[in-house]
Structures are given as structure tokens and as C-alpha cells.
Structure 1
Amino acid sequence: MLETPCLMIDLKKMERNIRDMAGIVHKCGVKLRPHIKTHKIPSIAKKQLDGGAVGITTAKVSEAEVMARHGIQDIFIAYPVIGDAKIERVLKLNQTTRLTVGVDSRQGASRLAELAKAAKRTLNVRLEVDTGLKRTGVPYEKAVDLAEAIHSFPSLQLTGIYTFRGALLREEPTRDLESAGLEEGEMAVTLANRIRERGIPLQDVSVGSTPTAAYAARVKGVTEVRPGTYVFYDRMQAELGVCSLDDCAASVLVTVVSRPTEDRIVIDGGSKTFATDIQPNTPPLHLTGFGHVVGHPDIVFERMTEEHGMLKVTKDHPFQVGDRIRIIPKHICSTVNLHNRVTLESGSGENVEWEVSARGHLT
């Protein structure tokens, strides 16, 4: 019998999600490069590659190192690589892997170029552009000049641009995912063409998160999309309308450890089990609680401490100490990063554990 709390993965649903996204993207004639931040598991990345992905995306050098050790050969680190130690690791990884890294500043590009030159290597880079999320990325209006500066470094090969925007439309959160995706794609293509007018032969225009990938991929000139959450989906994506709750391949199995009052049950999963980065009742979705209780949509997962989850129930709910329930997390990416392993349900009655190999790889 499985010990709880336990992160469960429905293998058939996951494989269907992988297959469906690949079909949507390929129909548009665009490459799929999924972000492994959601699952952090090499075996799942290989399933995505077998399903038609051209390579993978990571956020950190250490994630790329884990994936490369498991035989994955085409990796994009979609994050500015800053610091000599990290750059040296990138250059080492680049000896055995088809690697591309993100840059968003002249300072960062200059140091990459210096160390690449010293190692007598050429490093592929993509310029990250801020299209409204106000995170990393050169401001949109400054991107052409920075592209020219990066292009001037002989040891760097500027292959393209990329952006991450999420569900934004005119820089505001939206549920109109089609308009958001089309706007994201059009902004990136327009910018890429302006850079090409300066004599820089960009190949890659990489955009698209799980909510927007299917729409951004329609834009002529977009070459690649990088969704991540789609492999499992979660309650946020279901609320956005990207998927149904039944499409969610990941859930957390927990045990009721206490029912101290008629209107409260306590489970053995708290903030060390479920992500807390998306708080309840925050825009744009204003979701109640920290997850969806499967089979009981009226129950509210209202608060957590480290080891306890408190769920509001009505007195007619029959839950007793020892009962087990499943919860679809609000945000699956951060939830996976709290677990050392996942349990795959194949439908045959046999469960298989997979290590979350890139969990906690933050450098």
C-alpha cells in the first residue's frame, strides 16, 4: 500500500497530453521544445522527444546537466547564464550537447563571449525579450540594438530570440488565450524581422507557454513553442480553459489524519507537499483554496502549515480518519519540485516509481 502523501501520475493521461500538444504544434509547422521545469524527470523528457519534440528547455544549468547525463542531446537553457562558474559548466556541457543559452544583457553576453573565446569554442545564444511580463528579458524597444551588440562577438552565434509571456494581453492578465497567443507571436515575429533588417540572420523565433502555445504557433514566422505544464496540467490551467480537470495527469494522494470538528478534516500534506506560490483568491483567476479535491468540488482546501492541510467540509461529508483522497494541485510545477519521486499509474494495477532527478537543481 502506498505511503502518503504521494504524487501520482496517470500514465495514460500524461501520454495523451504529450501526444495532443505535439499534434497541435506540428500541424502548424512549428517545432516543439517543451520546458522540463514541470516534471524534471528524464524519462518523461524522452517521452516528449519520442512524441516529436525537437529538444527540451530548462531554466538552470544544473537541470541541463541532469538531462544531458541521461542522454538528451538538444537543450536550450532559457535563462541568463551569469557568473564564471556557470559559464564554465555551460562550455563543458557544450562539448557533448547541442546547447543554446539565453542572454538579455550586453554584460552577460560579453562575459559569455570572453570565456567562450578563451576555450576556443563558439556558443549558440538566443536573445530574451520582455514582451510584457516584466521579468528577465531586454525591453522590447531596446532589443534590436542589443542583438547587434551580441552579433558582433565572434565567439557567440545569435540564433534567434525568445520570450515568455504567459496569459497576458496588452500587458494585462487575460482569459482570452487566443488573442494573447496571437499577440505574443506577432510581437516576436515583428521584432525578429526588424533585427534581420540589420543584417543578422536569425533562425529561431521561440514563444508560447501552455496557455498560448496552440495560438502562438499559428503566427507565420514563429518557429518554436515551449510549453511545459501541458504534460500534467493543473487546476490553474483547467480554470483558464486550457484543459479539463479530467485532463490533469497529476494528483496528490493524501490521508485524512484528523477530523477535529464537523466542518474540518486535516490531511497529511501541507506546504511541504503542495505549492504555495499561487495564493487563493488572487487575480486573474481568484481560485479558492490550494487545489481541487477529486470527486468533491465543494470541499475547500483552505489553509496549510508545513505538515498539515486543512480542508473545509460540511457535516454530511462522510470522511473519517484513515480515508484517502486525491487533490489536483493549483500549480503542478512547484508541487513536483517538493517531491523526491512520483508514482506512475499505468492502469494495469502495477505502480512504478520515478525519481524527480532534477528536483532542487537551482544553479
Structure 2
Amino acid sequence: MVYDAPEIGALPAGGKAVPVDAWGVPADEFVATRPGLADLPTPLVTLDATALTRNVATMAAWAAAAGVDLAPHGKTTMAPSIWRAQLEAGAIGITVATGWQLTVALREGLDWVLAAYPVLDPQVLRFLGKPRTARVLTWVDGVDVVEAMAPHVADAVAPVDVLVELGATGGRTGARSRSAAAEVARAVAATPGLRLAGVAGYEGALAHDASPASLVVVRTYLSDLAALHWTLLDQGLYGDVPGGLVVSAGGSAYFDAVADVLAGAHDPDGTRGAPTRVVVRAGAYVAHDDGFYRGITPMNRGSEGELRAALHGWVRIVSRPEPGLALGDAGKRDLAFDEGLPEVQAVRRAATGDTEPLEGATVTAMNDQHTFLSLTGDARELRVGDVVRLGLSHPCTTFDKWQLLPVVDDALAPQPVLVDWVRTVFG
């Protein structure tokens, strides 16, 4: 897979992750010299090309086997070149979470976008009401949301497709009962410029682990979502919906449960009734992680395939002020920390040696630009100038800290080599 190197042009002077010697050099020309990690500055975050390719293929194969469609959540990476890789592997479209992300997706030429939130920006709503080739679906969870949208779509030439969001007590957004959701659906069906196109929800807000009790909560919610869909169908609230109805759930933690409970509704050709797609929105799988998602992924609960972390931090040791303490040159401005601190995995002695395992080092805290490492055993031999590889948790809050991400062939290799760049779009 080719990402962004051919399109970037000259690497920016002062760009994060861009070495001084490469300022102004075309990105693809720099890649052609096959620089190693020693040629790149720290702090650094890299993407692993081998893991990216494998993860995209693994998830595509899982969706095909599970009998559902995949519209990965684009907010994870906000990297259109990675979106293209996911689409080329078979994803039906991309999911977004804000009006700005929606406009980015449409600017990039995507022809199927699920906006997993209520679109209330008047300008965006008027834009969606104009003739277009892309299919865009939005969410509503209350009659008040429908009423807020109504004035801005009343003159729409193309109706705006809407999914009714079912929530649950203690969750995030979403109508708090099936009866309340059905009332919202009736309001949508009665509003000029809106078209009821299905139901959606997010089970990930209801649980935060893979314990049996959490899985029961998730599956119960998904059963309610399925029941809501069948109720709206039986009541004739769905009209003629070009492109078919959509039933959507599934973040990155419970997509196996989504398939188990909802796949029976997947009937894109309409052989059993109204054409309907069950769409899973998992997004974190593409980069996976060495923390939260590693611990909760369905791939560890018997799903076919295996995901591998594609994001790694590289931190240069800049101070050894005490025997059991080292300070690295990355911090909260560079690495994710909201779902657990990074884990120490390996070291490159003097920044040029082969990557080798490092035992006895633990990240204990992070400041804006520093990482604190507690050292025991052999790790106490860590020296200023050594570069440590860190595993990261929660990819979503790492991507947004980097406008350009170097792509290496294999981050776990003794001497990883730069093979591409990924450009992110975070405003």
C-alpha cells in the first residue's frame, strides 16, 4: 500500500518528525534513500507498514465472514490515505463524528459516509440537502433534534438520510427507550427534507471491559436495537430508501457481539424484505494498540485473525539524574496517556544499535514534554542518548498529535527502515 509520500511534496522545515537534513526534500525522494530510525528525530511516533496492512486485511476478512459491512470510524486516524486502504480492502464507507470531519470526508471524494452524531450546523445541513453523489447518513436521538434540523432541510432537493439512535440509561447520547426512539422515528418520517433510513447506536459507552457481566449488558442493548429496527419496519415508518436501510453499531471493543446479535438483519439485496445493511463502525483496529484495545479486542475472544499494534513511540533518554530514574524527550504533547501510560518495550543503544528487548523499565508519569522511566535490574544501565521504544494505548489520541507520521517497514525489526509517510488532517 502506498500512503502519502508521493503527494506530500517538500518536507516542511520545522515539521515534527522531519529531520533537519530533510527540510525541503521531496518526501518520496527522502523515502527512496531508505533512511533508518537513526536518521529521524525524537520524540517520534511511527506507523508499522506490516502491521497496518495486516490489520486492514484481518478486519476486512472478519467482516466478510461475519456477514456484515464495515464503515471504519475515520476519527481514529483522520488520515485519508489510510481510509483509502480500508475502502480498497472492502469497507463500504467511513464513519465520522463531527461536521468538520464530514466535510473532510466529502472533500476527499468518499461516496458513503456515516455521520455518527446529530448534524445541527445550518450550513452543513443546507449543503447535505443539495444534489450529490455521495450517500450521507446522520443520527438523531430526540424529537427536539429533529425540530432543530427541520428549518434547514425544509427546502432540501435531496432528503437527508437519518438514523434514529437508541441509547441506554447511563450511556452517552441516544433515546433512552425503544418507545422514545419510535417517537423520534415518527417525527423524522413526518419532517420534510428528512428521510428515515434506519437505526444506530453505540454499545461501547455501556461497558469498559470484556467481563461476562459487561458482555451481557452489551448484548442486551444490541437486542433492543434490533427490536427497534423490526418495530419501525412493521409499523411501516420506513419509506422507499435508495441504497437501503442501515442498522449500525459496533465500536472497536464489541464488534463480535454486534455481528452475533445483528447479522441476521443484514440483507443488502432485499431477498428477505427491505434491503438492509448491518454496518459495524470499528476504527481503532487499523492501528490497534499495546494497551486498552489489546486487552479488550474481540480478536482475543475467539474471533478469527489477530491484530498487531502499528503505533510506537520512540523516546531519547536525555537525563539520568538518579540511579533508578531516566527522563525521555516525549510527553503528553507527543504520546497518548488517557487510557494508560505507554509501556517500555525495547531499546536502541546510542540510538543506532539494533532494537533489543528492555526489561525492568516502567513509565511512571508524563509531563508535557518528558516521560519518567523507573529503572530496575539491567534497565539501570540505560544511558543518555539511548532510544527507547514504547508501546502506546488508545491510538485515537496519538494520531491527533502528529501531522506527519513516518511509516517504517517493521517497527519490531532490528533496524526499521522508513518506507512512506502518512499525513493526518486534524484541522
Normalised-by-shorter TM-score class: 0.7 to 0.9
1:291 aligns to what?
342
Aligned amino acid, residue 62 of structure 2? I
Contact 1:31 1:225 (8 Å CA) reproduced: yes
Instruction: Please tell me whether residue 228 in structure 1 is matched to residue 283 in structure 2.
Output: yes
Distance in 2 of aligned mates of 1:263 and 1:243 = 37
1:355 aligns to what?
423
Instruction: Please tell me whether residue 325 in structure 1 is matched to residue 388 in structure 2.
Output: yes
Give the superposition deviation at 1:277. Answer: 2.7
Give the superposition deviation at 1:297. Answer: 6.2
Q: TM-score, normalised by structure 1?
A: 0.87
Give the superposition deviation at 1:246. Answer: 7.4
1:175 aligns to what?
211
Distance in 2 of aligned mates of 1:248 and 1:148 = 44
SS for the counterpart of 1:344 is: strand
Contact 1:5 1:273 (8 Å CA) reproduced: yes
Aligned amino acid, residue 314 of structure 2? L
1:67 aligns to what?
105
Instruction: Please tell me whether residue 342 in structure 1 is matched to residue 405 in structure 2.
Output: yes
Distance in 1 of aligned mates of 2:45 and 2:321 = 26
Instruction: Please tell me whether residue 214 in structure 1 is matched to residue 275 in structure 2.
Output: no
SS for the counterpart of 1:15 is: helix
Give the superposition deviation at 1:168. Answer: 4.1
Instruction: Please tell me whether residue 7 in structure 1 is matched to residue 45 in structure 2.
Output: yes
Contact 2:48 2:409 (8 Å CA) reproduced: yes
Instruction: Please tell me whether residue 196 in structure 1 is matched to residue 233 in structure 2.
Output: yes
Contact 2:251 2:283 (8 Å CA) reproduced: yes
Q: TM-score, normalised by structure 2?
A: 0.75
Contact 2:256 2:298 (8 Å CA) reproduced: no
Deviations 1:229-249 (CA, angstroms, capped at 9, x unpaired): 100111111122545797111
Instruction: Please tell me whether residue 205 in structure 1 is matched to residue 247 in structure 2.
Output: yes
Aligned amino acid, residue 224 of structure 1? V
Aligned residues: 346
Instruction: Please tell me whether residue 161 in structure 1 is matched to residue 161 in structure 2.
Output: no
Residue 238 to residue 173, structure 1, CA distance change in 2 (3 Å): closer
Aligned residues: percent identity? 27
1:257 aligns to what?
318
Contact 2:166 2:199 (8 Å CA) reproduced: yes
1:41 aligns to what?
79
1:103 aligns to what?
140
More deviation, 10-19/133-142: 133-142
Alignment of 1:77-116 (within 5 A): 77-91=115-129, 95-116=132-153
More deviation, 140-149/37-46: 140-149
SS for the counterpart of 2:59 is: helix
Residue 7 to residue 96, structure 1, CA distance change in 2 (3 Å): farther
Residue 300 to residue 88, structure 1, CA distance change in 2 (3 Å): farther
Contact 1:167 1:180 (8 Å CA) reproduced: no
Deviations 1:198-225 (CA, angstroms, capped at 9, x unpaired): 2223821101111211231122226111
Give the superposition deviation at 1:319. Answer: 1.4
- Identify the match of residue 22 of structure 1 among 40, 49, 60: 60
Residue 342 to residue 90, structure 1, CA distance change in 2 (3 Å): farther
Contact 1:133 1:164 (8 Å CA) reproduced: no
SS for the counterpart of 1:189 is: helix
